[in-house]
Amino acid sequence: MTDNTEAIKQGYSFDSAAIELGVLVQEKKPVPEAKIRIPLGMLNRHGLVCGATGTGKTKTLQLMAEQIAAGGVPVFAADIKGDLSGISTPGATSEKLTARTEALGQDWQPTGFTTEFYALGGKGKGVPVRATVSSFGPVLLSKVLGLNETQESSLGLVFHYADKAGLALLDLSDLRAVLQYLTSDEGKGELKELGGLSSATAGVILRSLIAFADQGAEEFFGEPEFDSADLLRVDDAGHGIISLLELPDLASKPALFSTFLMWLLADLFTDLPEVGDIDKPKLVFFFDEAHLLFNDASKAFLESIAQTVRLIRSKGVGVFFVTQTPKDVPDEVLAQLGSRVQHQLRAHTPNDAKALKQTVATFPKSDYDLGELLTTLGIGESVITVMDPDGAPTPVAWTRMLAPQSLMGPAPADQLEAAVKASALQSKYGEAIDRESARELLAKKLDDGAATHEREQAGADGGEQGEGRTRQDREPRSESRSSQSRGRAREEKNVVEQVVGSTLFRQVARSAGREIVRGLFGVARRR
């Protein structure tokens, strides 16, 4: 390996604001004057953090989140193992830490960062995060349910029917109610009109939903729906607020968790205006355990993800995927990731060796033997290349990462609970709401239909009392029917008023944006 210290030092010497990741390693020793950085304005060109288990990915995520927040940019990350919660607490010093930071020339100061804690559906200690089934959409829901392409298309027809009929799909019980209605005697005529939706397929989807709800997924859907704008906040000091979504039960519902993160990205894309190239992003989004999103995904789904990642850059949002190897991320997504932080890889099996070879191929040309270097990196070391302010890749640099200044481990439980209770968002999202929606409206429709049938049956049994009934005899019945019509009109008006007063009204107000999201994920309303 040639001595390329000066070239690398110059390659990372930016005039613009940047976050510091670490320092160059040369001959296995740190070079403090050669700092490895990412320009703040290039963070919305996205990135990738990779490495085998135990090589320091979580600490790198923590370090980057700290630096980005200190630069005035909000951060979102999923806290898979609970280790990231310590970012809210000043770090603890030790002899080992002091020796490391001094060798790197790091001015390390114990610092805690303003943090908001969230939990899906309130299943955890954070502020509850929920989404309505309607905004989640049929394609993302199909991914969660493991539906095939035919069933996914059929679910799209069900969503279209609910939209057309004015049936708000707020939680899973609403969607089940629509499917049960369409497969019932009362709704089979409307099912037939949907054309491409067979009763057998509707039954499969319904059973999948019931099993999904039985696993405890019901609580993730409903109201109040989370407003992704709450991720874009800064604190009183002008530092970005770090939002951590607790995912303690990832193994039981991996598809739900990863797809929920994709919903958040799609929702951000819907609401944010175009901003083009800006000095710093509006938000940096860390997508941990990214392989879960791409596992068993259809070609159309992958294309939609790639399109979302590509387009959301212009909305000022940067996305960093965190996973074990670059091969976990599809090529069409990988091609859009401008920054790479690669920790140690292992090559103990043929598959590992193949992954290593593929990883080496994703880096620009360098003086390193990356095949050897990537397998010998120490914990807390990585190989890095980023985009410079002109959009060109920086030299590949063997880097020793800086140490996070916050606590490297979970925050004390009592401190976390106190922070959640004190959150201003508790009053907004703390209590679940069950408003009138598809389930109630369909139940009312079925009750009204049964009552009408009973009245008609009673009228038929009573029969006519003779051919000689006069116009005057019939007039009171006509007046009665008029009164019933007015009564039904008042009932319908009350239903409309209730719907307008519900979250459905907010959904309608955002319908144009929702259509964009549905278009991105291949679920624009079908006719």
Which domains does the chain possess? 28-130+223-349+365-429 (3.40.50.300), 133-220 (no CATH)
Cis previous bond, 224, omega within 30: yes
Q: What is the pLDDT of residues 336-381, one digit of tens each?
A: 999 999 999 988 888 888 889 989 998 999 989 999 999 999 999 9
Q: What is the C-alpha R_g of the chain?
A: 28
Judged against a pLDDT cut of 80, whether residue 419 lies above it is answered with yes
* Cβ partners under 8 Å of residue 121, min gap 6: 128, 129, 130, 219, 220, 221, 222
What pTM does this model have? 0.84
Output the pLDDT for position 503. 45
List of residues 6+ apart from 176 with CB closer than 8 A: 206, 209, 210, 213, 439
Q: What is the pLDDT of residues 84-117, one digit of tens each?
A: 999 999 999 999 999 999 999 999 999 999 999 9
* Least-confidence region, from 148-152, 352-356, 406-410, 458-462: 458-462
Q: Give buried/exposed letters for 37-53 (b at 16+ CB in 10 A, else e).
A: bbbbbbbbbbbbbbbbe
Asked if 395 and 388 touch (Cβ cutoff 8 Å), the reply is: no
Beta bridge mates, 279: none
How far, in Å, CA of 272 to CA of 295, rounded?
A: 28
- How far is Cα of residue 345 from the mean position of the Cα atoms in its chain? 28
pLDDT at 474: 43
Best-predicted range by mean pLDDT (81-85, 176-180, 444-448): 176-180
Q: Residues 255-269: pLDDT tens digits?
A: 888 888 889 988 998
In contact, 318 and 285? CB cutoff 8 Å: yes
User: Mean pLDDT across the stretch 425-439?
Assistant: 91
pLDDT of residue 487: 52
Among all chains, which residue has been given the structure tokens 């679940």?
432
Tokens of 159: 């969503």
